[in-house]
Amino acid sequence: MMSQQTRRTALTLLLLLLFPVSTLAQSALQRVRQSGELRIGTDATYPPFESVEGNEFSGFDIDLGNAIARELGVKARFINASFDGIFPALQNGTFDAVMSSVTITPERSASMLFSDPYYDSGQLICVRRESEGINAPDDLKGKTVGVQINTTAQYDLEKREGVTVAKYNTIDLALLDLQNNRIDAVVGDAPVLKYMIFKSFRELKTVGHRFTDEKFGIAFAQGSEDLVREVNTALKKIKETGEYDQIHEKWFGEAAERAAEQEASKTKPKTVDFNLARRLLPLFLSGILLTAQLALISLALGLPIGLLLALMRVQSSRLIAAPAALYVEVVRGTPLLVQILFIYFVLPYFHIYIPAKTSGVIALTLNCAAYISEIFRAGILSIDVGQMEAARSLGMSYSQAMRRIILPQTFRRVVPPLTNEGIALLKDSSLVSVIGLTELARTGQELASRYAAPLTIWPMVAIFYLLLTFPLTRVAEYLERRWKTVTRS
């Protein structure tokens, strides 16, 4: 998908840019009361705390969030967001709170508000069943250890000397890599590791004890003090009435563990589980639709914009050509990921609020227009100058010659590279998951975590992408066939 490096640099940059935005969030409680809903951001790839199947969220955080919202007299609405984009989204007001197994740290407390802790967790080490010699954090020296990106596990390990940290988008990918012998251990939140091992990583085991004491809290944007106060009151009440214990028992209690164990022993986890695949098939539908939609709309808008840019660039007037050249230079020279983040997270700073899907379409459109314009430009330049001269000598104006003679020939030539661009766009559209759009790749990510079945899910994702590219290829083939007579000359 993208290099972690790019992703991290981009986010650091954005967080810096976004810092002043937090002052915009005002009277959070009023807003929540007025709208009647508490919007909670969550990265639903982290069972048993939070996971999603279709539109159904479930997990400890989800049950607790619902209870809190009920106490506030509103409804909870969960919004799925990738963990590495979740805090910027909180800052710019996409949701009122984040409940996503967020550990309260001094660094995070500097830029956000936290509720009272609602869950005591800690980091645990996980290794392959047969491995020996790693029992405590100190044993990790000289080893390669997998973590989920931007988690407290990562921060902790980075402070330890001699540990090589490998960062993964989701915890199940880290565990898969461990199982595949590529890394020596995985560090993560104890309950999550236990759940994952039960679910499908039977060749792994946890060792030692929790070596950190971490408290999960609900995160809020700065300026939401009144909302935090209310939430704390609600949390206190839920604990006093015993409801908290019930929820805890449901997800982490002995009973839950036994049930999980029983279920697990009944059905030995398979690497590739066809039954699961069949069952999950319909859950991909909305992701597939979103990906197709994003790619098609962006391509449809990017084509005319790209053509316009190309026509500007081939003008002899610098006044017309230079802006187009600059546009292409800038857009092509910056990562699509940063462009997506910019439109969604930075523009609100200038009081421009664009919904996630529209932001995604705009970013993809502007990005592909730059590449498409270069394809068109190359196509136009590849037409022999004699064609323009012949057209002009017959009395056609420049625009007539362009429209009637040059462009029709250009279109015939650029079909293959445009097809390439369309397919690339289809796959690049997966980047919009950072702004919380659950497109195809993100759907895969969520389901892979939820069912701890990356080896079943990712091949499905690949096949869906392949199927999506088919219509594009067919259209291209049709056009090429239709224009075949004239391409050779």
Partner 1 sequence: MLRRTRVKLQDTVSSWILKLNQEQDVIEVTDIVKRYGSNTVLNHATFQIQTGQLTTILGPSGCGKSTMLRCMNRLERFDRGRLKIGDVEVSGTEDKKLTPAEEKELTRRLRERVGIIFQNFNLFPHLTALGNCMEAPMTVKGMQRKEAEDVARHYLHKVGLADKEEHYPAQLSGGQQQRVAIARALAMEPEVILFDEPTSALDPQLIQSVARMLRALDDLGKTLVVVSHDMNFARRISDQVIYFEGGHAVEAGTPQEVFGNPQKAETRAFMQSFQEDEPLADAQPNADKLQSNALETNLGTRDNLGQEE
Cβ-based nearer residue to partner 1, 392 or 427: 392
Q: Are 418 and 376 in contact (CB under 8 A)?
A: no
Cβ atoms of residues 113 and 221 within 8 Å: yes
The burial of 455, by beta-carbon neighbours within 10 Å (0-12 exposed, 13-18 middle, 19 or more buried), is given as middle
| End-to-end Cα distance, the chain | 41
Cβ at position 394, least distance to partner 1 in Å: 4
Q: Which one, 245 or 384, has the nearer CB to partner 1?
A: 384
Of the candidates 101, 119, 115, 113, the residue with the CA atom closest to the CA atom of residue 43: 101
- Cβ proximity to partner 1, 79 vs 407, nearer residue: 407
Beta-carbon contacts of residue 132 (< 8 Å; ≥ 6 apart): none
CB of 407 to partner 1, least distance (A): 10
Minimum distance, C-beta of residue 311 to partner 1, in the bound complex (Å): 18
Query: Least distance in Å: CB of 303 to partner 1?
Result: 19
Q: Which residues bind partner 1 (CB under 8 A)?
A: 384, 386-387, 389-397, 400, 404-405, 408-409, 412, 483, 485-486, 488-489
Give 90's contacts (C-beta < 8 A, 6+ positions apart). 41, 97, 98, 112, 219, 220, 221
**Dist CA 184 CA 200 (whole Å):** 18
CB of 472 to partner 1, least distance (A): 23
Question: Which CB sits closer to partner 1, 318 or 488?
Answer: 488
- CA 230 to chain centroid, in Å, comes to 31
Dihedral of alpha carbons 131, 132, 135, 141, sign: negative
Measured from the CB atom, the residue of 265 and 399 that comes closer to partner 1 is 399
C-beta closer to partner 1: residue 181 or 317: 317
Indicate the pairing of strand 144-148 with strand 185-189. parallel
Six token digits for residue 461: 């994702």
Smallest distance from partner 1 to CB 386, Å: 4
Q: Which is nearer to partner 1, 5 or 485 (CB)?
A: 485
Least Å from the CB of residue 310 to partner 1: 18
